[in-house]
Amino acid sequence: MGLLSSNTRLDKLEDLFLHELEDLYDAEKRLTKALPLMMEAAKNPKLKMGFEQHLRETEGQIARLERIFDMINRKPERETCDAMKGLIAEGNEAINARGNDDVRDAALIAAAQRVEHYEIAGYGTLRTFAKTLGMHEAATLLQQTLDEEEATDKKLTEIAVSIVNPRAEMA
């Protein structure tokens, strides 16, 4: 999540739920800008397609978050996600690096998996808060996104282990 500013008030679990929702909303919005650059930088076609597919999924994930804002009668607002800013900055290092294509692809995967793990932590927490608060429809939507993030993480591992890392090792 973003840094809680000194004037953030967390009196109820609903307050924390909203704070985390706004943080993930910001994180996903940032990813829709970052993923096209990852896609462009990737040399392996499977990796490129994987980023492209996850960009489309990310757009759907943003729509789910907007539905949840709607359920709690709030306008979608962004709370700066400092962690995602940092993870994207690390991804940019991989994007801008020179060198061997396969080693660079391995670096893109390493950065992308850090992003997925952050999202998995965030969505897992938010889904569990939703369940606790009796927001079953929201919990279902958050679980769908969590499943997508986990599947993306697994797919990245598969591409790394089966193709990219062995090729990078030969560089």
User: 20, 22, 23, 105: which one contacts Fe ion (CB under 5 A)?
Assistant: 23
51: left (phi over 0), alpha (psi -120 to 50) or beta: alpha
Nearest to Fe ion of 51, 102 (CB atom): 51
CB of 49 to Fe ion, least distance (A): 15
Which of 3-11, 18-26, 90-98, 104-112 is the region at the interface with Fe ion (rule: CB under 5 A)? 18-26
Closest C-alpha among 124, 127, 148 to residue 55: 148
Give the tokens for residue 169. Answer: 């090792």
**Long-range contact set of residues 93-96: C-beta below 8 Å, sequence gap at least 24:** 94/41, 95/37, 95/38, 95/41
Looking at residue 129, its amino acid is F
Interface with Fe ion includes 68 (CB under 5 A)?
no
| Burial of 89 from C-beta contacts in 10 A (0-12 / 13-18 / 19+) | exposed
User: 20, 21, 25, 61: which one contacts Fe ion (CB under 5 A)?
Assistant: 61
Nearest to Fe ion of 23, 102 (CB atom): 23
Interface with Fe ion includes 81 (CB under 5 A)?
yes
Looking at residue 142, its amino acid is L
CB of 169 to Fe ion, least distance (A): 27
Give the chain's end-to-end CA distance (angstroms, integer). 38
Which of 34-42, 89-97, 119-127, 130-138 is the region at the interface with Fe ion (rule: CB under 5 A)? 119-127
Interface with Fe ion includes 38 (CB under 5 A)?
no
- Residue ranges binding Fe ion (CB under 5 A): 1-2, 23, 58, 61, 81, 83, 119, 149
